[in-house]
Each structure stands twice: as structure tokens, then as C-alpha cells.
Structure 1
């Protein structure tokens, strides 16, 4: 079930009404309703993979209790690693088995050994990377003594499978979400209206920006050999806005939907394309994943406590693993390594935490230096996105070589002026709202009621008028 579908437009009000008007006086019933609704939401994609979600939930719930009840470190260690190995095993089989087998077969062919690898003809379960990381963070936190195991299975199952975040995040922590699930919730009109505003802006990002950009990005990337260098640059920029509008749009809808039910999810995006360096970009892009890797991989590896060599090594590890998390393709690994190379100079010079505040905080415009930094950072990011979007490494290099040709300075063969105007409008709204949780959080709140609602209706009309061809959310495949 897609957030931008008629099915979801019917599903959400029904669950909302049952939640606040039928079960509101009983927390257990509320949570049971959320669990049933979440499993139904997931089943609408493919009911056959619901067993995998339920199994993963039971595994982590059971091993969490066993770790807490263990009377020895050895027993605790056993249950911890049972959960980790089984979870990563399922993820590995469904997501990475074919990649490893095919890569190994190709490596053997390079030395003259021909093999016929046995591959699996299976569909990647939607959201498996996200709910697996939910469970892993839970068992790691129990193992390290940060939290106690949850004894109420329904409450824990809601934490893992809460439908707004189930298939594409944000990646929640038990320390943040479980207390909210266990706490009595009352309807908050102001919070609900704020949630609707964020859903509206998320739909605009997805339907107007991402889906329209996808049409041209796909056309250019899929036929890159036929286009000029200037058109290829345009295609890379379109993909940059496609993936941002798609993923941050999903996150906005998820956060807004959760707020309708009295639950606050972790923020996942903070206007990353206004970043002044790559380190700042990664503090603002897919925030929940970045902090997950920081807490559960970077810090255990030693973090920044050692010298430059350790910091560089740990940075390379988390970026390559992050790239691999995104998909079983060498393009993602190169994309991750490339971002590590972009960020390493600032780590060596200890400048990776220079830009912690919003750009041009409290000002209308950035300085010339800040503007230049934003342009350079965006250019590096777009260059990295070429590998992320390309079909394979060869395609990526072919695409890049096509950019750096004489035709780079020609007029693009594709000239979608209306999309460019929509992107400019989008950037302006994001810029004016960059100090808020999302772009239109406070935009128009102090206007006269007539103008404020005219602004909201203008967004709604734009969504219906300029809606691109429906595309599945990009991060569903991860």
C-alpha cells in the first residue's frame, strides 16, 4: 500500500476513527489496533512475506527476554548472537545471496574458470532492511544494558511494525518509541493539524517533485548514450531531486501520519541540499540511518578516539557498509566509498563539525562563501548520485564520460521548463522554512486565515494538477 494511493486515503481515516473514537479509552486495544492495522498495511504489498516480519519480531522479543533472564555472560552472549546471526542471515539470503554468488562467479571467469551459479528467484521483502535494523538496535541495547527487555509482545510488535515507518523508516530506537507506545495517548488537535500539514508537504515532494523528476531522470539515464553532456548533467540533477523528494517526502508523510496517532517519530531529513560540506550533508540526510551506524558500528570500532588513521578507517567502514545496506550492487558500494573520500579531508583537518547550525541562521540570504560552499557540496552529492542511479559500474563511468565531452556546453536536448520552475519554487519554500522541522511547519501561520488556506489549497491543486506518473517509493527496494 503506497502513501500516495487511493487505498491509503481510505485506510488512514478508518484506522484514525477506530483509534480515537472506539479504542481511545483502552491503551491495550489502541496498541492491538495499531498492530492489526500495521500487519494489514504490510500484507497489502505481499501477504506471503508477513511471516518473515512476524518471525523476526518473535525472534527478537524472545531473545531479548532470554538475555535479560540469563544468569551468566555466556548465556547472554549466546542469545544475543543467535538473534544477530538469524536476522542478518535472513537479510543476507533475501538481499545479498545472488550478489555474492554472481560476483564470485564473475571473479572466477576472469581467471578462466567457468561456473554456472545457482541463484535464488525470490522477491526482496519490502522494508526488510528497516525492520531488521529496528530489531537489531533493540537486542544490542539490551545486551549493552541500555534498556530492559519488553515483556508485552503487542507493544514490542508495534515498535517493530508501526505502519507509518514499517517499509522505509525512519529507523526507530526502542529508547525513543517504546515509551510512547506504552504511554496513554490523548488526542491533540494542534499536533494532528501539524501532522496533516507535514503529510501535505510530503505528498507535494513525492507526487509533484519526485514523480515528475523521475520521468526525465529515467528517460536520460536509460538512454544516456544518446544524450549530450549538458542533458546528462540535467538528468543527474533531476535524479538528485527525485530521490530527495521521494525519500524525504515519504519521511514527512510517515512523521505526519504518526503524529495523527499521538506518536512522534525520529526526524529523518533536515534540508540536506543546503549543506555547506559533505559532513553536514550526512548529518542532515537519512538521519536515523546515519546515527544508527554511528552508535552501533562507528563508536564500537573506536569512533574518533584514536589518531587520523583510525578515524579514516572507521569512516571508510561505515560508508561502505552504508552503501552496501542500500542494495546488492557494486554501484552502491562505490557510492558509499566515494562519499567517504569526500568527507575524509575534513576529518583529517578536524573540520567535519564546522557547520553545526542552519546555514544563514536568522538571515534571509547566505553569504557569498556559504552560497559557494552549498553549490560545491551539492555538485559533489549529485556526482555521487550518478553511481547510485546507474545500472552498473560500467554505466556510471559511461555516463560520467558523456558529461565531460564537448557537448557539455550545448543546449540540453530535453527542456522540461515547467519542472525546472517547480523545482525553483520548491527550493524557495524549503529555503524559507529551513529552520523548522519541515518546510511549511510555520509558513503562513501568521497570515490572515484567507491567505493561509489559499496557500494550502494551492499546494493541493498543484498536487492534482502537476502529479507525475505514479512511481513506487525508491527506498521500498532497500
Structure 2
């Protein structure tokens, strides 16, 4: 059941009408049933995994509260972490590690029969396992109290707007909203509708149309460097609009029901450097890795080497989180090196900028931001490529054959047709500090903007409901 489908529209309309007619406790029961129906619509068999992960962390949380010593608390935490990682590892990474083990042993002339299992990846498993693990870690750190009501905790894990593709919510943010009274107002409904409308524009008009531009280019191995460059830019915007579109729709659905779901993207393409970009991109995952992996690994160390190694390792894991393939790992590794490199040259760049006359500093800032963007592009090429070799092939075409061919013209025109409206809207949103600034603007501005966006969706939007990219992660 996709957000951009007629089936979901019927599902959510019925659920919302029932929701606003119920009291708080029954609202939670309704949302839990609705969330299980929503998740079961993908494959009802995987509901058991969701319930197992829920029960595991629920009882581990209670166990940590009742434990008489830190050793017992740590034991319950390890049970939670190992249980969730085993579930995630088996369903997402078993074949990947099995294949690489065979190849590794072959280097030492040890031949074993490869074991390949026909495993279906449960949708959303990378998101809800990380969400439940963060709950257990926060309970262990005594940052939150464990939830005693199992049904409320089950709703925290399975809340359908952000269940299958995030954001990865924290218990300290979402659980109080589940446990407390929520108000459903006309203003929240209107704001929620604005988030949903913008998310649908990002998905249906921008992302799905750019996908039709990107896919043929990345499947070919004989196009010009210009084609791959434009397709690389297009893919970055496609991925962004696909995922940010989902996050905005999720935020809008939650807001209509009185929830405040965290912001997952904060205008990343307006970042001035690589570090800032990753603070603005997929915030729920990057902050998760920072809080639960990077910071504990670095500890109180002042060593730049340790911080650098930990940053590269953490970003490599972010790459692996996206999928069981080395090109994802290389994407993360490269991104980590980019962050380390930025910190290494930052003092030199600051001295260089301060030595420039005032009129040249703005130009210098734009130029460095553009160079950072090109660095990011190389990483996302590996993200989109089907293999490490495929990524290097595209990079070689960029460097060896950067000629402009007549067949590149439609590619360039189509790219700007779908990218330009997005970039103009994003500039407005960025300067105002709000994704839904268009819905808060004056009437004579708001109505034409709505009409133009609606016109673009209606005439040029992809009508077939296409799955969101991050469902495969």
C-alpha cells in the first residue's frame, strides 16, 4: 500500500474519520490495528518479525529497569542489540556475507559450496530495528523510562506513517506523543495537507520523472561524459525527492492526527560543505549513527586520527545500511573520507578566505560549495551504480569522453524541466525556513503556487504508483 496510491487514500480517509471520533486510548488502539493492517498489506507473514522485535525490546526495557546491577542491565541491552541485529543480518545480509566468505576462502585455496537462500527482504526492517534498538539503548543509559503498556510500545514501533521508510524516530520524541493527549485542529490538518501535497509533488512530478531519465543512462555503458554528468545530478535530485517526499508525506499524515514527526531533510543542497550536507541529509539515520556509534567510539579522545578513523568507519556502516553490496560500502567510505578531508583543509580554507577582499569572499564561498557538490556527486554515482566496477566505469567516461553530443540535448532539457521548479521552490522554502511556506503565504501568492504545482502534477506527474526507493533498504 503506497502513499501515492488510491488504496492508501481510501485507507487513510476511513482511519482518520474514525480517529477523530474516538478518545485518546481508543485512538491508540485504532492506530495500532491500522498500522498492522498497513504493514500486513505488503506481506502479512512479516508481521511476525515486527511483533518479535517489538516484544524483544519491550521486555528487555522492563528487564533493565528491574535489574539490580549494571551487569544485568548490560546483559538485557546485549540481548536486545543481538536479537535485532540477528533479525536484520539474516534477512538483509545473509547472502552477502555468505558470498563474500566463499570468495575470501578461495583466496587461500579453500573451496566450499556457496550457500544461497531465497530470502525476501521485509519492507522497513532497517528502519524499525534501528528504532527499537535506540529505545533499548536510551533505557540502558537512563535517558528514558521503559514503557509498561505493551500496546503503546507496539504503536511506537509500528506507527504506520514512518514505519517502512522512516524517519527513524526516537522514543524520547515519539512515545510522549503516544502516551499523552493529542489535539486535532483545523490548523494542523491544513499544515498536514500542505506537507502531503509538497511530498507528492516531490515524488510524482520530480522523482518519478527523473527516474525515467536516470535509469536508461546508468544502464548504458557507451554514452558521453555529459550524459553521465547530467544523469548523476538527476539521480541526486531523484533520490532526494523520493525520500524527502516520503518523509514530508509521513510528517503530514502525522500532523493531521496531532503528531509531530521529526524532520528528516533540512535543505541539504544548500549546505556550504560536506559536513553540513550530512547534517542535513537523512537526519534520523546520521544522527542515530552519531549518537549510538560514533560518539561512544570517540569517547573523550582528542586524537584527530581516532576521530577520522571513526568517521570513516561510521559512514561506511551508513553505506552498508543502505544495502548488501560493496558499492554502497564504497559510497559510505568515500563520504567518510570527504568529511575527514574537509576537516583537514578547513583551517587552510579559513585563512585563505580571510586574506581575500570582501567582494571576493562570497565568490569564494560559492566556488567551494560547488566543488563540494561535485565531490558528493562522485559518491552518489557509486550509490546508483549496480557495482563498484560500474561506478568506476562511469567516472572514467566523465574523465575521458566529456564531449557534448546532439543526443544529449533532450537529456539536458528534461533535467531542467523537472529540476528547475523544485530548485525555485526549495530556494523559497530555505530562505523562509519552512517547507510549507507556500501554504502560509498571502492569498494572492498562495493560490497561484498551488495551481501551478497542481497543474505540473496533473499534466506531467507519473500516474502509475511507483514504490519509494528507500523501501528496498
TM-score by length of 2: 0.93
CA–CA distance in 1 between the matches of 2:158 and 2:16?
Answer: 17
Whether the aligned pair in 2 keeps the contact of 1:276 and 1:370 (CA below 8 Å) is: yes
Can you list the C-alpha shifts for 1:66-88, whole angstroms capped at 9, x where unaligned?
A: 11111222222221111111110
Q: Distance in 2 between matches of 1:123 and 1:307?
A: 43
Instruction: Give yes or no for the alignment of 1:472 onto 2:467.
Output: yes
CA distance in 1, matches of 2:63, 2:56: 11
Deviation larger for 106-115 or 117-126? 106-115
Instruction: Select the residue among 86, 95, 99 that pairs with 1:98.
Output: 95
Query: 2:8 is matched with which residue?
Result: 8
Q: For residues 166 and 437 of structure 1, what CA distance do their matches in structure 2 show?
A: 26
Q: Secondary structure at the match of 1:149?
A: coil
Q: Which of 438, 441, 444 does residue 443 from structure 1 map onto?
A: 438
- State the Cα deviation string for residues 105-155 of structure 1 (Å, max 9, x = none): 123334444432111101110100100011000000111111111001111
Once the two structures are TM-superposed, the CA of residue 414 in structure 1 deviates from its matched residue by 6.0
What is the rounded CA distance, in whole Å, between the counterparts of 1:215 and 1:58 in structure 2?
42
Per-residue deviation, residues 380-399 of structure 1 (Å, max 9, x unmatched)? 11111111011111111111
Task: Report the equivalent of 1:330.
Answer: 326
Equivalent-residue separation in structure 2 for 1:437 and 1:169 (angstroms) = 22
Q: How do residues 277-356 of structure 1 correspond to structure 2 at under 5 angstroms?
A: 277-303=273-299, 305-349=301-345
Matched, 1:154 2:151: yes
Match for residue 173 of structure 2? Answer: 176
Counterparts of 1:191 and 1:233, CA distance in 2: 41
Alpha-carbon distance change, 457 to 194 in structure 1, aligned in 2, over 3 angstroms: same
> 1: distance between equivalents of 2:109 and 2:77?
43
Q: What displacement does 1:437 show?
A: 5.3
Structure having the higher helix fraction is 2
1:413 to 1:109, Cα distance in 2 relative to 1, 3 A = farther
| 2:265–2:281 CA contact under 8 A, matched in 1 | yes
How many residues are aligned here?
461
* Residue of structure 2 aligned with 1:67, choices 64, 67, 72: 64
Cα distance in 1 for residues equivalent to 2:119 and 2:217:
29
1:302 & 1:473 partners in 2: Cα distance?
35
Deviation at 1:464, TM superposition (A): 2.1
The 2-side partners of 1:167 and 1:85 are apart by 21
3-state SS in 2 of match to 1:51: helix
CA contact (8 A) 1:213 1:238 kept: yes
Match of 1:35?
A: 32
- Cα deviation, residue 371, structure 1: 2.5
Deviation at residue 438 of structure 1 after TM alignment: 4.3
**Which segments of 5 or more consecutive residues in structure 1 lack a partner in the other structure?**
355-365
Q: Does structure 2 retain, via aligned residues, the 8 Å contact 1:308–1:348? A: no
**Equivalent position to 1:275, from 267, 271, 274:** 271
Gap change, CA 1:437 and 1:131, over 3 Å in 2: farther
Alpha-carbon separation, structure 1, partners of 2:172 and 2:26: 22
What's the counterpart of residue 247 of structure 2? 251
Q: 1:368 aligns with which of 360, 363, 381?
A: 363
Please give the alpha-carbon distance, in whole angstroms, between the structure 2 residues aligned to 1:414 and 1:55. 53
Shift of residue 453, structure 1, vs aligned partner? 2.4
Q: 1:226 maps to what in 2? A: 222
Return the alpha-carbon distance in structure 2 between the equivalents of residues 351 and 322 of structure 1. 27
Structure 2 gap ranges (5+): 351-360
Deviates more, 1:465-474 or 1:95-104: 465-474
1:275 deviates by 1.1
Greater Cα offset, 334-343 or 404-413? 404-413
**How has the CA–CA distance of structure 1 residues 35 and 98 changed in structure 2, closer, same or farther, with 3 Å as cutoff?**
same
Using the TM superposition, give the Cα deviation of residue 474 of structure 1 relative to its aligned residue in structure 2, in angstroms.
0.8
Q: Is the contact between residue 201 and residue 252 of structure 1 (CA under 8 Å) also seen in structure 2?
A: yes
Conserved 8 A contact 1:332-1:388: yes
Separation of aligned partners in 2, 1:147 and 1:127: 25
Instruction: Tell me, in whole angstroms, the C-alpha distance in 1 between the residues paired with 2:431 and 2:150.
Output: 39
- 1:351–1:300 CA distance, 2 compared to 1 (3 A): farther
**SS in structure 2 opposite 1:404?**
helix
What SS does the aligned partner of 1:45 have?
coil
Q: Is the contact made by 1:323 and 1:335 (CA closer than 8 Å) also made in structure 2?
A: yes
Of stretches 391-400 and 375-384 in structure 1, the one that deviates more from structure 2 is 375-384
Query: Separation in 1 of the partners of 2:446 and 2:146?
Result: 47
User: What TM-score comes out, normalization by structure 1 length?
Assistant: 0.92
Q: Does structure 1 conserve the Cα–Cα contact (< 8 Å) formed by 2:438 and 2:449?
A: no
Whole-angstrom distance in 1 between the partners of 2:415 and 2:318: 31
Could you tell me whether the CA contact under 8 Å between 1:228 and 1:412 is conserved in 2? no
Which 4+ residue blocks in structure 1 deviate beyond 6 angstroms? none
Residues 56 and 80, structure 2, Cα contact 8 Å, conserved in 1: yes
- Say if 1:135 and 1:351 are closer, same or farther in 2 by CA, change over 3 A: farther
Partner residue in 2 for 1:139: 136
1:345-386 Cα distance to aligned partner (Å, 9 max, x none): 23235669x9xxxxxxxxxxx943333233222211111111
